[in-house]
Chain A
Amino acid sequence: MADLAIETHGLVKTYGDTRAVDGVDLAITRGGVHGFLGPNGAGKTTTIRMLATLIRADAGTGTVLGYDISSQADEVRSRVSLTGQFASVDEDLTGSENLRLIAKLYGHSGKAAVRRANELLDAFGLSDAADRQVKKYSGGMRRRIDIAASIVVTPELLFLDEPTTGLDPRSRNEVWDIIRAMVDFGTTVMLTTQYLDEADQLADRISVIDSGKVIAEGSATELKASVGAGALHVRVMHRDERENARDILVRELGVDVERSADPQGLTAAIDDRGRVTRALSALDSEGVGLAQFSLGQPTLDEVFLALTGKPVAEAAVNEEEAA
C-alpha cells in the first residue's frame, strides 16, 4: 500500500455544528493529477489542510506518501507542498524576496537561494516583476509566484487548492500548462476545483465531494458513464409526427423517451449506443422525417446533478459563461 500517494480512512473535521469533512476515504495513486471536485463549502480546503498537516483531524486516519499525517507530520511536510486557495505568499515582499525566503527556510545559503529564486522567476515568466511587491501583481501572476514558491524544493506531492478560481481564461490556461509540466515531470498533484471542465481537462481520476462526503469516484469518463452513455436528442420535421416518432423510439431503444419543451423535440437517455443507429433507421424506413438529431456525452454538470440532486455551484456556471 506504500505505493499510494494518499490514503485516508474516515477523516472527520467539525467546526461547531458544521461537519466540514464527514468521513472521507481516499486512495490516491502516485503520479498524475487527482481531482477533488465539489461546490463551494463542500470540504475540499479542510480535507487538503488536514492532509498537508496544517490542521488536525478530529477522527480518522491518513497517510501521505506512506507517512502518518498525525504522528509523522514532519516527514509529510518535508515531502509535500501546498498552494493554498488564498495567496500563501507575503504580499508586502517582492516576488524575489518571497522565493529567497522560502529557499532559505529550506536550508539554502544566501547565494543558492538567489540562484534558485532567479531560476524559478524565469521559468514562471516573472523575471520582470521580480523586484515588485506581490500585492502589485495581477491575479495570474500571484498564482504563478504562489506555485513557484511551492516548488522551491521539488515536492513529491503538490496540493493545489482551487488554483484557477477567479482567474481570467488566459491566466487559467497558463496555470493548466504549469500543472501539466509538473505532471510530465512526475510530480503527483492533488487539485481541488469547482470547475467541471478543469477536472475534465487535467485530472486522471476525480473524487466528487459534497457536504463533507465523497459521493463518487472515477475517471471523468467513468463518472459520465455512471449516468448513462449519453442522451439522444431528435427533432422531427413536423410536430404531428412526434407521437409516432416517440412510439418507434421507445420500441427500438427500449427506454423511456421524453417529450421536450420544443413541440417537435424528443429526448432519450441511452445506455446502449448500438441501438441508436437501429432506431434512427427505423424512423427513416417508417417515413418519419428528422430535422436534426444529436447524440451527446453527458456533461459533468449532469453527473453532478444526478449525484447530488442539485446543480453545480453558481460560481462555476458563471465562470464558464465568462470563458
Chain B
Amino acid sequence: MSTYTGNQEGEPINEPAGPATTAVSTAVDMSAAPSTEAAPQADAIAQALANTERPPRPSALSTSVTFGWRALLKIKHVPEQLFDVTVFPVVMTLLFTYLFGGAIAGSVDGYIAYLAPGILVQSVLMITMYTGTTLRTDIDKGVFDRFRSLPIWRPSALVGMLLGDAVRFTVASVITAVVCWFIGWRPAGGIAGVAAGVLLLLIFAFALGWVWTFLSLILRTAGSIMGVAMMVMMPLVFASNIFVDPSTMPGWLQAWVNVNPVSHLVTAVRALMDGVSPGSDLTLSLMWAVILVAVFGSLTMWKYRDPK
C-alpha cells in the first residue's frame, strides 16, 4: 500500500481536484492536470488498437541509427556519463606527459610530440570498456528484452549503441587533443591529419567494442566485465609503443609489441597526424578491425540469441 500515496495521477472523474483532498499528490503532478485526463481510457485504447497501420519494415541502417539516437538521448538525460570521457583523458594526458616527459624524452616539449597520438589512442580505447558495463546494465533492467522481441535486424541495438559511443569517443578525442595542444603539441598533419587519425581510431574502437559486448553477454556483473576487460586492455595498451619507443625494450617484449594490434594502430595514427604516409600500419589496423568485428561480432550475436 505504500506506493499508493504517490500515485494519485489518476483521480476519479467526478471528484473535484481540490488541493485539500490530494495534499500528498499535488507535489507529484496534479497541479497542471485536469483530472479527467489522468486515467487510462478504454475507448481511446480501443481506438489506438484499431489503428492497425503497419509501416514497412525498416532497414538495418535505419534501426541502427534509431538506436544511436537512443544513446544520444541517454547522454542528454544522464550527462554524468560524459564524466569518464572527459576527466579520464585529461588526467591520463597530464599524468603521463609530466611524469614520464622528463625521464623518457628529456623534456615535456619533446615528449608530447611522440606521446600525443598515443595518448589519444589510449584514452579512447580505455573508455571503450564502459560499453560492456553499460550493456550489462541495460540487459539487467529488462529493456533489451523489448528490443530483442522486435522484428528488426537483431544486431542493430548493439550497432546503434556503438554508434552512440562513437560520439563519446569523439568528445574524448577532441578533449585529449586540446589538452595536448595546450601542452605544446603542434602536429605536422594539421587539423586534417588529426581528423584522419581520429577517424581511424574510431573505426578501431567500434571494432573493439564487440569484444566488450560479448563479455557483457557471458559475464553476469558489471564488476567482472570491468575486471576481465582490464586484463585484456593492460597488455594491449601498456605493452605497446604508446609511451616509449620499442627499440629500448628487451627482445621478448619487442616481439609482443611488434605484433600488438594497438602498436600498429598507434603507428598509423601517429603517421596520419604527423602528415606522413601510414603505409602498412594503416592496412594492418583496418585488418585487425575487420577481424575483431568478424570474430567478436559473430560471438556476440550468437550469445545475444540467449543471453544470461
**A interface with B by C-beta (< 8 Å):** 49, 52-56, 74, 77-78, 80-82, 84-94, 97, 101-102, 104-109, 112, 116, 119-120, 122-125, 127-129, 132-133, 138-141, 144, 149, 151, 153-154, 166-171, 174, 177-178, 180-182, 184-185, 187, 322
Contact = CB atoms under 8 A, between A and B. Distances in A.
- The winner among B44, B49, B77, B147 for most chain A CB atoms within 10 A is B49
B300 interface: no
- The winner among A91, A105, A129 for most chain B CB atoms within 10 A is A105
A98 to B, nearest CB: 9
Interface in B1-45: 1, 3-4, 6-7, 9-10, 28-29, 32-33, 37-45
B150 interface: yes
Given A91-B141, A138-B9, A82 B151 contact: no
Given A127-B37, A128-B37, A168-B1, A187 B49 contact: yes
Contacts of A102: 146, 150
Interface string B59-81: 00011001101100110011000
A123 B41 contact: yes
A89 B138 CA distance: 10
Contacts of B40: 123-125, 144, 174, 177-178, 181
B248 interface: no
B70 A93 contact: yes
A123 B55 contact: no
A116 to B, nearest CB: 8
B146 A168 contact: no
Given A151-B48, A154-B51, A178-B45, A128 B38 contact: yes
B9 A107 contact: no
Nearest to A74: B151
Contact of A107 (B41, B52, B55): B55
Smallest CB-CB A-B distances: 6 pairs:
A78-B151, A123-B44, A107-B55, A138-B7, A107-B58, A88-B146
Nearest to B143: A90
- The winner among A90, A151, A169, A170 for most chain B CB atoms within 10 A is A90
Nearest to B39: A125
5 contacts: A54-B148, A82-B146, A93-B77, A106-B151, A138-B6
A163 B25 CA distance: 24
